Structures are given as C-alpha cells and as structure tokens.
Structure 1
C-alpha cells in the first residue's frame, strides 16, 4: 500500500483513560513507514469518526515512525477515555509500499482503505475508499487501568478463536463473549 489511509475498528474488553497501540511488522519483508496514526470513537455512519474525540498517536513524540522488517512498534500513551466494550476507530497512514507484511485475513471486521493520501483526521473517508475484512498491522491495544481487581482474559487459538464464520462486524468471536 502506498500513500493510503487504513481505518480499522476494534472492540475493547477493558475501560481506561490511557491507551497505547502496538503495530507489527514482524513478518514484513521491508520497513513499514507510518506517516500518521489517529484514534477516535466511531461515528454514526460506517467508516466515520466523531471528530471531537480525535487524538493523534505519537511514537517517541513524533507522528511518523519507520518500523523495521521483523519488528513491532508501540506508541506513546494516549489520553483517551474508553469504557469496557467500547469500540475504537484507528486510522493509519502509510507513506510507501509495504511489500509482504503483517495482515490478518480473518479479521471479521470491516476496514476501509482510502487511496487519497492522509485522511486519518477526516470525519469521513473519500468516496473511492474500498473495504476489506482483514486487519492490517494493528496487533494490540493496551489499556492502563487504575482498578485494583480488574483483568482481561487473553485467548489464543486458531480460526475459531478469531471468529471464523461468526459474522462480519457482529463481534461474536469467542473472546467477545
């Protein structure tokens, strides 16, 4: 992907007032050049965001990062209020072609790919944005909690855990229950 914005939705298990994002290029064959990342609450229409919740995501205080092939990248903490089971919209702008890289073909959640450059801060993507049900580069959202007895169960497994055939955008994967 070259100069594209990818917008993805993710459902959280745990609430927090601070999050960090982890992106993976661990199976990539060349650097993953990220030009910008934003996080926001989803808008009322598919693929849109609530502009008043939009926050930039930084890496070492910078908006851009080059993630080497074979490596992950973890963002700086972002002050962002979320409740348990909230959805987040994460928009990622890629500056250059990625080559073979980290995608998850069984995402069971709509992602939008906009070829009109950096549209990470736009409420709505351009009319030529295309959809995919894969997950791209985002491997984890970390939440910081102050609740002393809170926790999250992590599930590992195969396609059943992923939610294979559970329905696109239905949030009916095993971990969702």
Structure 2
C-alpha cells in the first residue's frame, strides 16, 4: 500500500510540536508558534516522505523537499484573501492582490528564518525572482543521522 505524500512528514512534525520544538519567545517564556506550525505543516504535506516508496523513487521524487514558493504557500494558508475588491489587480489574466501577496511573502520569509534557526528547515538553494526560481527547502524534521542521509540523497539528485 502506498502512503499519501507527506503523511509521515506530518507525523514527525507533530511530534516536534509535542516536544516543544515549534515555539517562539514571548517575553520571558517560550510558547507554541502557530505560524511556524502552519508553515511547516504545509511544507510537510507538500513533500515526499522518507524513505521514499518504490513508485516515488522510480519517478525521481525528492524526499522532504519544499520548492513551491512563498506565493503558493500564502495562497494555501489563505493569506491573500482580500476584504475589498479595491485591493485586486489583474496580473497575467489572474485576479491578484499584490499588496497582500507582498505582506504575506515577507511574513513567510520571516517565519522561515525562525524555522531555519530552530534547525527544522534548511535552504539548499536560494530562489531567484528574475529567473522565476523558487528556493529549495529541506525539512530537517528527523534525527540528525536521518537528516544527514536525506540531505545527502537530495544533494546527489540535485547535483548540489
């Protein structure tokens, strides 16, 4: 039986939350950070589990990799829904809210830095808006040995 994409990743990140690894400092205490959790949950759901199943391996899937970009994530998290049609512009035949998109992407970028600092994600390749390339993010949600194994596998496939 083939598991759905990201199922095991989501279970791992839920365990990280239970262990208090998805937190932010508020005053003198640390508390659960719903934005970090939402972002990591989206990344986990959109990436292949490790180890890869036979079909995913055959198709060249990359485990624990998120590369859909911040705009995709902003939309997935409902961060670009407008309160007013005055905020909407047609860009490339698509209704969009550029001010909301920019604000959402800035917030996601800031949240990614927190996740990176916590050792839960790692940027393997920076994005380039001129080339329309999204960054490549590795979810480092396993043990240190497992994370090293996944990273080596992904780097060899991406020739990094």
Q: TM-score, normalised by structure 2?
A: 0.25
Higher relative contact order (CA 8 A, sep 6+): 1
Structure showing the higher helix proportion among its residues:
2
TM-score for the superposition, normalised by structure 1? 0.24
* Larger strand fraction of residues: 1
